[in-house]
Structure 1
Amino acid sequence: MKRGTTLFLKAAVILIGIPVLALCIFLVPKIAGFIVELYPDHAYLEYLVYLMFYGAAVPFYIALYQAFKLLAYIDASQAFSDLSVQALKHIRNCALAISGIYVVGLPLFYLIAERDDAPGVILIGMILIFASVVIAVFAAVLQRLLQEAIAIKSENDLTV
């Protein structure tokens, strides 16, 4: 594969991480303050919002790092190696962790939607869960295909 293609994908990985960082810096504190305005007698909900969003950001950035490593393996002509399989496994686990965090945090979305009378908030939470599950399944399928390709490659190397 040409290096320009992976360079483009590396830039895309970085560009995906920047808006999420901006959301974590600017939007999450506003959401936490908003939930405190909605439920002033339950101030602990603010910390749950921080825990949910920042807790999901950690596996997100781990997955981005693993994607970056995977692209580096492709550049180094090690795409069909156990290192690539491990990177895909980490991406899958991170996507499942993100999905799990949002499933546990879905009642917070419900509380916001109930008090603010905005049912679209629950839909946003469910879209985040669905997107994470789709990424996890996609990474699992790629991991399985890569393992089979490595097995076929090793069989062909032994027959020659």
Structure 2
Amino acid sequence: MKLGSTNFLRVVVYFIGVAVLALCIFALPSIATEAKRSQTDMVSFLYPLFIGMYVAAIPFFIALYQALKLLSYIDKDDAFSHSSVKALRMIKFCAATISVVYIFVMPFFYFVGQMEDAPGVIVIGMIIVFASLVIAVFAAVLQKLLKSAIEIKSENDLTV
């Protein structure tokens, strides 16, 4: 793989990380203060929702770091190694953790959607759950595939 494509993926990963960090630092606190000023009923449902979002941000940034490590392994022509398998396993666990956190937070999405009469809020929560589940399954498949490729490679190295 050319260095340009991994650099593009690296830039995309950094861009996603900066966007989520900006969301955590600027957008969520401003939404919380605005909700506190306008409606006191909804604040009791928003704070657990925001806590869940901040908790889910931790495995998200860990997964982004592992993706950057995986891209560096690809750059070093070390993609078929046990460290790549470890990085994929960590990405899988982080994505599954994000799904679990948002599954626990889904009732608060429901209550906020009911109070605001906006069913789209519930759909946003479900999209996050299913997207992270898809990423976890995809990482698990890649992990298995990479593990079997490493085994085949080591068998071929022993026969020669």
**Short-chain TM bin:** over 0.9
Contact 2:32 2:43 in 1 (8 A): no
Match of 2:79 in 1: 79
The residue aligned with 1:151 is 151
Q: Percent identity?
A: 56
Answer yes or no: is 1:129 the counterpart of 2:129: yes
CA contact (8 A) 1:38 1:112 kept: no
CA contact (8 A) 1:99 1:130 kept: yes
Shift of 1:45: 4.0
Q: CA deviation at 1:30?
A: 3.4
| Whole-angstrom CA distance in 2 between matches of 1:58 and 1:155 | 39
Letter in 2 for 1:71: L
CA distance in 1, matches of 2:101, 2:55: 7
Contact conserved, 1:35 with 1:45, CA < 8 A, in 2? no
CA distance in 1, matches of 2:120, 2:37: 19
Q: 1:49 to 1:62 in 2, by over 3 A?
A: same
Which runs of 5 or more structure 1 residues have no equivalent in the other structure?
A: none
- Against the structure 1 CA distance between its residues 37 and 130, is the aligned structure 2 distance closer, same or farther, given a 3 Å change threshold? farther
Q: Report the number of matched residues.
A: 160
Alignment partner, residue 114 of structure 1: 114
Of 129-138 and 40-49, deviating more is 40-49
**Structure 2 residue aligned with 1:32:** 32
1:139 is matched with 139
Q: Deviations over 1:41-64 (max 9, x none)?
A: 675545423311111111100000
The CA deviation string for residues 115-135 of structure 1, in whole angstroms up to 9 with x for no partner, is: 110011000000000100000
Of 150-159 and 3-12, deviating more is 3-12
Does the alignment pair 1:97 with 2:100? Answer: no
State whether residues 28 and 53 of structure 1, in contact with CA within 8 Å, keep that contact through their aligned partners in structure 2.
no
Report runs of 4+ in structure 1 exceeding 3 Å deviation: 33-39, 41-47
TM-score calculated relative to the size of structure 1: 0.92
Cα distance in 1 between the residues matched to 2:42 and 2:122:
20
- Superposition CA RMSD, Å: 1.8
Structure 1 contact 99–128 (Cα < 8 Å) conserved: yes
Correspondence for 1:61:
61
Q: 1:151 and 1:52 mapped to 2: Cα distance?
A: 39
Q: Structure 2: which 5+ runs fail to align?
A: none
SS in 1 for 2:40: coil
State the alpha-carbon separation in 2 of the partners of residues 18 and 31 from structure 1.
Answer: 19
> 2:136 is matched by which residue type in structure 1?
A
